[in-house]
Amino acid sequence: MGSYYSTKRIGPISTGHRQWRDPGHCSYVHGYGRYVQFVFACTTLDDKMWVVDFGGLKGIRKWLEDQWDHRLLIASDDPLLDAFKALHEKGGINLHVMDVEKGWGPGIEASCKFVHDYIDPLIREQSENRCWVKRVEIWEHENNSAFYEGD
């Protein structure tokens, strides 16, 4: 049986992050206007002959903005985590700690999994398991992207 696909792109979302394991300049706090693209899939279209109703995705945009907009993404195992938490408590940054034990992280690869892990169950529930998130792709700028595909 074949599958149908549709895509939705959200962004840009201004997000900062740090890749502490990088021996180069990516270990410094920096940021991008991220775009997130979803590929939704199904084997049976809905009553409007759509994969998903894009009008019903406004909550996803809001969730992404709540997670990332003007926030600093830091890995849960970052050796400077306590310093970033102190800056957050003083109002110097808006911190979001990414749980590396769940496969999440501040870079776009692990951020794809973070988004997928939240949005896929939501789409499945909304569609009564008719539809799922096939792929999450995140662009940090026009030349670099990464994606995660669920099972």
Express each pLDDT in 111-148 by its tens digit.
999 999 999 999 999 999 999 999 999 999 999 999 99
Let me know: does 72 contact 17? Beta carbons within 8 Å.
yes
**CATH no. for residue 21?**
3.30.479.10
Q: State the Cα–Cα distance between residues 98 and 65, nearest whole angstrom.
A: 15
Q: What is the pLDDT of residues 17-44, one digit of tens each?
A: 999 999 999 999 999 999 999 999 999 9
Q: Which residue has the higher pLDDT, 75 or 56?
A: 75
Structure tokens at 114: 């973070």
Question: Confidence class of residue 62 from pLDDT cuts 50, 70 and 90?
Answer: very high
Q: Is the peptide bond before 12 cis (omega within 30 degrees of 0)?
A: yes
Q: How many domains does the chain have?
A: 1
What range does the domain containing 53 cover? 4-149
Percentage of the chain with pLDDT > 70? 100
Tell me the helices (H) and strands (E) count for the chain, helix number first.
3, 6
Give phi and psi for 10, each to the nearest 5. -125, 135
pTM of the model: 0.95
